[in-house]
């Protein structure tokens, strides 16, 4: 999968590229408007991460051009402006999602995966992790052909883990993913959710993949 990161802040684009590369994406970076315009015109990407404030032009122009060229690249806007206008404009111009800075890399990764799944597979996709099979269409989870009954949040949590497999995910990232940005201080809830999810997966087929990493968060991994 090819991703273009259009972002003028080099530290940021490097971090994003580092995280996404570990999730088996191929990452390309454009740091200014002209480069971004050139790259989007001559290459096809599975997903474009687009910062709106760019040196040399407004990122929304790139969106317009993609639309004019009838390109189907998925676009995720990442903006520091967090402005409602930009969000609405961006989504109206055909962007697939909007993420405001600062964001967790794990959240960005999950969003990209969701967009690509929606765009490429019409949302009709099976996520597989070892003996766990998740049907994102019917929202059912099987462990070795045993159905697992998950609550809505447990299901979201499992998807998040699978999409960010083998990476340590901080508790803040999980809290924000499950309940949104404003809900601070809900770590005791996360602990309960994870405990329940782990127990259900274990009961269904000895799928013990959630590892608590001392002091830092959780990791979804085979060993």
Binding footprint of other proteins on the chain (CB under 8 A): 9, 11-12, 15-16, 18-19, 22, 80-84, 100-106, 151-154, 167-168, 170, 172-173, 179-187, 189, 192-193, 214-217
Which one, 73 or 220, has the nearer CB to other proteins? 220
Which one, 99 or 116, has the nearer CB to other proteins? 99
Q: Residue 148 pairs with which residues in a beta bridge?
A: 141
- From residue 120, alpha-carbon distances to 27, 69, 89, 113, 135 in Å are 18, 19, 24, 10, 15
Smallest distance from other proteins to CB 186, Å: 7
Six-digit token string for 10: 């080099």
Please report which residue ranges of 69-186 form alpha helices under DSSP H: 84-92, 105-121, 152-163, 171-179
Closest CA to 48 of 31, 63, 38: 63
137-143 CB contacts, 8 Å cutoff, 24+ apart? 142/204, 143/201, 143/204, 143/205, 143/207
Which one, 126 or 216, has the nearer CB to other proteins? 216
Smallest distance from other proteins to CB 54, Å: 13
Which one, 142 or 168, has the nearer CB to other proteins? 168
Smallest distance from other proteins to CB 31, Å: 14
Smallest distance from other proteins to CB 13, Å: 10
Smallest distance from other proteins to CB 47, Å: 18
Which one, 26 or 187, has the nearer CB to other proteins? 187
**CB distance 110 to 159 below 8 Å:** yes
């Amino acid at each position: 999968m090819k991703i273009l990161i259009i972002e003028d802040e080099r530290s940021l684009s490097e971090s994003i590229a580092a995280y996404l590369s570990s999730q088996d994406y191929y990452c390309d970076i454009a740091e200014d408007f002209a480069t971004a315009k050139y790259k989007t015109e001559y290459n096809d990407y599975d997903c474009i991460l687009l910062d709106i404030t760019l040196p040399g032009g407004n990122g929304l122009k790139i969106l317009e051009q993609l639309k004019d060229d009838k390109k189907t690249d998925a676009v995720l806007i990442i903006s520091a402006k967090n402005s409602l206008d930009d969000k609405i404009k961006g989504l109206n111009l055909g962007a697939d999602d909007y993420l405001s800075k600062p964001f967790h890399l794990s959240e960005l990764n999950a969003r990209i995966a969701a967009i690509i799944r929606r765009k490429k597979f019409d949302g009709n996709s099976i996520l597989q992790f070892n003996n766990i099979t998740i049907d994102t269409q019917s929202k059912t989870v099987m462990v070795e052909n045993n159905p697992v009954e998950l609550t809505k949040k447990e299901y979201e949590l499992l998807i998040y883990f699978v999409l960010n497999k083998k990476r340590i995910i901080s508790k803040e990232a999980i809290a924000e993913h499950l309940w949104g940005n404003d809900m601070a201080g809900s770590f005791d809830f996360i602990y309960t959710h994870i405990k329940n999810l782990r127990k259900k997966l274990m009961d269904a087929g000895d799928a013990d993949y959630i590892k608590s990493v001392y002091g830092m968060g959780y990791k979804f991994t085979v060993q």
